[in-house]
Amino acid sequence: MMLIPTPELIAAGNEKAIARAISWVENNHPHALQLLKQLNGSADVIGITGPPGAGKSSLVHALAKYWSKQNLRIAIVAVDPSSVFNFGSLLGDRLRMQSLFLMPNVFIRSISSRGSLGGLSGSIIEVVDVLKHAKFDKIIIETVGVGQSEVEIAGLADTTIVVSVPESGDEIQTLKSGIMEIADIFVVNKSDRDGAEAFASHLQKLAHFRSTPDWETQVILTNAMTETGIPELSNAISKHAAHNQGNNRMNFLLAERAYTLIQKNRMKSVSVIALKNEIELLRNENNFNLYGFIQTKLQN
């Protein structure tokens, strides 16, 4: 018999129920909304973002291993890039975290970005709510790593970590204008490389200009492969979580969540595959016009 995910099973930490609930919300199951209405919970949500090659997956692995040794329950959501043709996930991050599957207090789920341009997934809000109800202590979200469009993570995570490497110093002007502005914590990974200290110092100066009386973005040097700097990063996350309580952004974030969910519900009858098939047929006609096609759809 197919397992039906219930709030009770999810809260009890039943991994099959948690996985099935995530599949429901990803695939717009008819009972998904009813299930979500019954869920509630809280957890520290940590977003990890940054350019490709910065070592985000290695950093997630090291953090999860560190927290696991403290008997914390950790959920990892690795948002993988998807095929632009079938929206299937490449699951690369899951392959890089194989050793974590042996840890009983670590749950890993790879989800496809499915064409989302924000480095996340259209169902990420619901996925996080499922994991919160499952009473995980830490929820780590690793974004695709597509660059400045990843600012969505700042609206979802309690703490946003921007990971870079010493070589990123050459790109600092680009990073300043976009992705760097969302950081609660900067991480300079692969800190055994030349220039790491100088780059970290430069980031610290940038952080100082953005500081408030209550918080100044911290800069942490790490080497995820050797787990260097991981305790310091964990402490920085804890400090920011304590600072973040009562954040005035909460009303805005809740409005953003409501907007996303309402938008998704109203668009659930629209299928990209069906649109592709219609366009494929219509393009055989000489007079096909995309904007006329869109107008017809809006009028129906």
Low-confidence ranges of the chain (pLDDT < 70): 1, 81-98, 113-122, 145-151, 169-180, 244-254
Structure tokens at 30: 């008819």
Give me the pLDDT at residue 150, please: 56
- The reply to whether 241 and 279 lie within a common domain is no
Using CA atoms, how far residue 96 sits from 19, 131, 136, 193, in Å, is: 20, 22, 22, 22
How far apart, in whole angstroms, are the C-alpha atoms of residue 144 and residue 82? 9
CATH, residue 103: 3.40.50.300
Give me the pLDDT at residue 95, please: 56
- The reply to whether 156 and 48 lie within a common domain is yes
8 Å CB contact between 171 and 179: no
- The reply to whether 275 and 194 lie within a common domain is no
Structure tokens at 61: 């692995």
- The reply to whether 221 and 170 lie within a common domain is yes
> Angle formed by the axes of helices 250-266 and 124-133, to 10°?
120
Give the SS3 label for residue 53.
coil
DSSP 188: E
Does residue 7 sit within a domain?
no
Give me the pLDDT at residue 114, please: 52
- The reply to whether 170 and 285 lie within a common domain is no
Does residue 10 sit within a domain?
no
Give me the pLDDT at residue 168, please: 72
* 115 C-beta neighbours (distance < 10 Å), count: 12
8 Å CB contact between 180 and 160: no
- The reply to whether 276 and 128 lie within a common domain is no
- The reply to whether 222 and 159 lie within a common domain is yes
Residue range(s) defining the domain that contains residue 287: 270-299
- The reply to whether 172 and 137 lie within a common domain is yes
Q: Which amino acid is at 297?
A: K
Give me the pLDDT at residue 151, please: 63
Q: What is the domain count for the chain? A: 2
- The reply to whether 284 and 182 lie within a common domain is no
